């Protein structure tokens, strides 16, 4: 029994390690092959080396951040991770600090699992496997939590967007400007979307153009409905079209899309319910219906 546990644990650890480090291989991607053929990869490396200053020439204030950036990923992945952290609400974090935190949680959970394994009389190999599994669990959990936070935020923005557009539309048609209408949203509603409008208003007060602030909000949240609404508003602002009509049309379209998504989920339900029906409900029904008959048949042939 112990050999089976050791073999299964070792196999699980190997598969998880392969899954974690398979993302490091970027040379086989089509985009990298095209960039290599055009000679862009070496150019990007030179530009990144020119942007990085030697540690000795930096101030002590930025020394720790520079040391953390050494262990960070390449620039595109760093920007993507920074964007994910800002979208999830962790505005004071960057990718290097998140990576250090992730590794600290991983090593801490690994040490806790190793300490807990010594409280029981287990074989040494199982203790090592428990420590490695604890390390992997601590390494994966922060990213899973971050993904769930992003999904929750996007779903709430998608759900509250039509009502927010209705409030802005009513405010604009009542005679308020678009900035004052966004201020009404911040005052009357609570949630992620109102917080984003508050950030947009603060950026506008600091001198940033309204179009750029709205585009940054759409880029940061990465919600298709919100991106379409902001693109329509920016285009209407450029062409001088009435904001009220654009907001009304966008609100109706988003409600129609939400209805279509609900219908799509309802149509997927019969397919998803087949798995519990086949593997759990049907066997129980067969046992209840055919069980007594099977017992009577066995008694008949035993006589």
Q: pLDDT of 87-146, one tens digit each?
A: 777 777 777 888 888 888 888 888 888 888 888 877 888 888 888 888 888 888 888 998
Residues 6+ apart with CB under 8 A from 166: 247, 251
User: pTM of the entire structure?
Assistant: 0.60
Q: What angle do CA 220, 222, 225 make, to 5 degrees?
A: 125
Report d(CA 221, CA 154) in Å as an integer: 7
Helix (H) / strand (E) element for 46: namely: helix 40-51
Has residue 63 got a pLDDT over 60? Answer: no
Query: CA angle, 222 as apex, 18 and 196 as ends, to 5°?
Result: 125
For residues 236 and 242, is the Cβ–Cβ distance under 8 A?
Answer: yes
DSSP string, 123-153: -HHHHHHHHHHHHHHHHHHHHHHHHHHHHHH
- Structural domains of the chain, with CATH: 9-13+24-153 (no CATH), 154-270 (1.20.81)
Q: What angle do CA 168, 170, 174 make, to 5 degrees?
A: 115
* Cα 150 from Cα 144, distance rounded (Å): 10
Pairwise pLDDT comparison (205 vs 59), residue with the higher score? 205
Q: How big is the CA angle at 136 (ends 130 and 75), to the nearest 5 degrees? A: 160
3-state SS, residue 74: coil
Does the CA dihedral 118-124-128-134 come out positive or negative?
negative
Give the span between the Cα atoms of 303 and 301, in whole angstroms.
5
Could you read off the pLDDT of 77-96 as tens digits, one per residue? 677 777 777 777 777 777 78
Say how many C-beta atoms besides its own lie within 10 A of residue 298's C-beta.
Answer: 9
pLDDT at 15: 54
Question: Is 58's pLDDT higher than 60?
Answer: no
| End-to-end Cα, the chain, rounded Å | 41
- What's the burial of 114, exposed, middle or buried (CB within 10 Å: 0-12/13-18/19+)? middle
Burial class (CB in 10 A: 0-12, 13-18, 19+), 14: exposed
pLDDT exceeds cutoff 60 at 204 = yes
Q: What integer pLDDT is reported at residue 29 of this predicted model?
A: 43
- The percent of residues above 70 in pLDDT, for the chain, comes to 74
| Nearest of 101, 66, 69, 74 to residue 85 by alpha carbon | 101
Rounded distance, CA 225 to CA 231, Å? 10
User: Helix crossing, 124-173 with 2-21: angle to 10°?
Assistant: 40
The tokens 């000795």 sit on which residue? Answer: 56
Question: Would the pLDDT of 35 be above 70?
Answer: no
Q: How far apart are CA 265 and CA 270, in angstroms?
A: 10
């Amino acid at each position: 029994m112990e050999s089976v546990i050791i073999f299964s644990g070792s196999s699980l650890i190997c598969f998880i390690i392969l899954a974690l480090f398979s993302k490091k291989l970027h040379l086989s991607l089509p985009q990298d092959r095209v960039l290599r053929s055009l000679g862009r990869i070496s150019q990007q490396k030179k530009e990144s080396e020119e942007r990085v200053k030697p540690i000795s020439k930096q101030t002590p204030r930025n020394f720790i951040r520079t040391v953390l950036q050494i262990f960070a990923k390449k620039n595109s992945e760093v920007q993507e991770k920074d964007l994910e952290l800002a979208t999830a609400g962790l505005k004071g974090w960057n990718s290097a600090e998140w990576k250090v935190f992730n590794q600290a949680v991983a090593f801490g959970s690994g040490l806790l699992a190793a300490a807990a394994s010594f409280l029981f009389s287990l074989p040494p190999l199982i203790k090592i496997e428990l420590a490695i599994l604890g390390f992997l669990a601590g390494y994966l959990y922060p990213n899973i939590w971050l993904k769930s936070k992003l999904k929750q935020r996007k779903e709430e923005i998608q759900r509250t967007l039509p009502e927010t557009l209705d409030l802005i539309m009513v405010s604009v048609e009542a005679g308020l400007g678009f900035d004052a209408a966004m201020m009404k949203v911040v005052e009357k509603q609570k949630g992620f979307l109102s917080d984003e409008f508050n950030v947009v208003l603060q950026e506008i007060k600091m001198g940033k153009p309204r179009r750029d602030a709205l585009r940054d909000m759409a880029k940061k949240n990465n919600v298709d409905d919100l991106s379409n609404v902001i693109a329509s508003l920016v285009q209407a602002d450029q062409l001088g079209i009435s904001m009220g009509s654009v907001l009304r049309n966008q609100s109706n379209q988003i409600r129609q899309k939400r209805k279509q998504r609900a219908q799509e989920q309802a149509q997927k339900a019969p397919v998803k319910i087949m798995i519990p029906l086949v593997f759990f409900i049907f066997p129980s029904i067969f046992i209840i219906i055919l069980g007594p008959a099977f017992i009577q048949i066995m008694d008949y042939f035993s006589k």
